[in-house]
Amino acid sequence: MRTLEPPQGHVDKPRDALIHLAGMTLAAAIFAVDLSLPLAYAIGILYVLVIVLGLWTDWRPYPVLSAMGVTTLLVLDVVAGWSDNPPPVIFVDRPLMALVFIATATIVARFKQLERQSFANVQQLEDLKRALDHAAIVATTDVTGRITYVNDKFCEISGYSREELLGQDHRIINSGYHSKAFIRDLWRTIANGRVWHAEFRNRAKDGRFYWVDTTIVPFLDARGKPHQYIAIRFDITARKAAEARLAQQAALARVGQMAAVVAHEVRNPLAGIKGALQVLMSRRKATDPELPVMRDVVGRIDSLGELINDLMIFARPRPPRPTTFQLRPLLAEAIGMLRRDPAGASLEVAIEGPNVTLTADEELIRATVLNLLLNAAQAMNGQGRVTMTIAEQEKRCVLQIRDTGPGIPPEIRDQVFEPFFTTKARGGGLGLPIARRTAELHGGTLTLACPDSGGTVFTLNVPLRALPAPEEPAA
């Protein structure tokens, strides 16, 4: 890396010219005084001041040339003042003065060399810092973990200002994703003076999660103990999202294969078993004690059939069939369907916002809204309030479904959209994954938030006008 050094011209700066003029004036004055006095006076030692002025000039030859110049003046003074009986002291002090001039010039030249090296090193550090600040997210902390410095990229990605971050520890951006054992290993490693490296998920001020590739380097004192830590991070959020999509695609491929097998090998036999049971039930009297058991078996078969249908929808979703409709009547229909379920019969549901006109698959959107309403009703055990808020933002429809339930525990929030994950006694864990797939098929998103005030907020964000579905190839 190229380093910048001070200018080297001998009189190319006003300061240098002024110092050089001052040096010549001072040397002339000392020479005049020394010339007027007997050789016994050691006035010539003041020529050291002329050489010392080299500390304030960037012209490299100045110390050597000034030493040579004042030594010449010293010799001229001796020649001019020489007599038949010169004092013996001049044979000692004048050579000593010349040696002092040489030593002073050497010291000044060495000092200026060290000054230039220091300037170059500082400039190099500034260049490295500037390059690092442009490429990475940088922060330093003291040994207690308190933040002492953050660069602009740190503020940009976290959403916090520099004033909000300084003096805090990194818990201010902790997402709660990593285990306590993971954090303990981090601190144990850097406290022992070793470099720690891993991928870390943080939480921005607005609640958004982001991933960073993190390296923490301890700065050690003379005893080998850390006195400061520097954390260098790189944003890998996009890469993690791409990895998640690839993993999801691989999982969907496996689910699709399994769904085909299940549909063929399980659904058809189940239909035969259900039909046989219904025939047997029709031959029983209403007071037969075995009739409730048979009804329960039929109910279990129906639940299994619904799970198989969900599996097929999730693995092989049909493309949307867009139509133009108003959203408020659709939400009202979903509320009416919710009332037929025992969990939603007494639930308080409100619709807020404008009546947006949407071009999308009405059936899929209705099923998605109903699924979210049923989830809210079950989370609140049928008692509570659900608010559906409609908004139109930049040619997109944003529908928020907020409940007053207990919310979702932090440790499972990242799993709610995973296939087959469920906390219910019954259910296949495909409702929310299907809802998210529906949003994605429309070019939108379905996200989850759990505000500090409590409850759960699902946000469905889809374009006001869906893209046309690709045409099916002719058979």
pLDDT digits (tens, 9 = 90+) for 455-470: 899 999 999 886 554 4
Strands ordered across the beta sheet of 196-203: 147-150, 137-141, 226-235, 209-220, 196-203
Long-range contacts of 72-76 (CB under 8 A, 24+ apart): 73/27, 73/30, 73/31, 73/34, 73/44, 73/47, 74/34, 74/44, 74/47, 74/98, 74/101, 76/31
DSSP letter string, 105-174: HHHHHHHHHHHHHHHHHHHHHHHHHHHHHHHSEEEEE-TT--EEEE-HHHHHHH---HHHHTT--GGGGB
3-class secondary structure, 363:
helix
Q: Which helix (H) or strand (E) holds 52?
A: helix 47-52
The model's confidence at residue 19, banded by pLDDT at 50, 70 and 90, is confident
Q: How confident is the model at residue 418 (pLDDT cuts 50, 70, 90)?
A: confident
Comparing 96-110, 220-234, 282-296, the range with the smallest average pLDDT is 282-296
* Rounded CA separation 69/77 (Å): 12
pLDDT of amino acid 402:
93
Q: Are 383 and 376 in contact (CB under 8 A)?
A: no
User: What does residue 190 show for φ and ψ, rounded to 5 degrees?
Assistant: -75, -30
What band does 425 get if pLDDT is binned at 50, 70 and 90?
Answer: low
Distance CA 219, CA 236 (A): 26
pLDDT at 459: 93
Distance, in Å, from the CA atom of 163 to the CA atom of 327, rounded to the nearest integer, reads 44
- Give the model's pLDDT for residue 59: 87
Number of helical H runs and strand E runs in the chain = 13, 12
| pLDDT reported for residue 475 | 36
Among left, alpha and beta (phi > 0; psi -120 to 50; other), residue 394 is left
Residue 372 pLDDT grade (very low, low, confident, very high; cuts 50, 70, 90): very high
**Measured between alpha carbons, how far is residue 148 from residues 100, 222, 225 in Å?**
48, 21, 18
DSSP code at position 465: B
What's the Cα-to-Cα distance from 185 to each of 110, 169, 218, 229, rounded to whole Å?
48, 17, 15, 15
pLDDT in tens, 116-170: 888 888 888 787 777 777 878 999 999 999 999 999 999 999 999 999 999 998 8
Span 216-274, pLDDT tens digits: 999 998 888 999 999 999 999 999 988 887 877 777 677 667 767 766 677 778 778 88
Q: pLDDT at position 35, please? A: 82
Q: Is 211 helix (H, G, I), strand (E, B) or coil?
A: strand
Q: Average pLDDT of 335-349?
A: 87
pLDDT at position 246? 83
Mean pLDDT of the chain: 83
Helical segments of 316-430, H only? 327-339, 362-379
| pLDDT higher than threshold 80 for residue 386 | yes
> Which pLDDT score is estimated for 110?
92
pLDDT digits over 294-332, tens only? 888 888 887 777 777 766 666 666 788 899 999 999 999
Asked if the model's pLDDT at residue 8 lies above 50, the reply is: no
Cα 259 to its chain centre, rounded Å, is 39
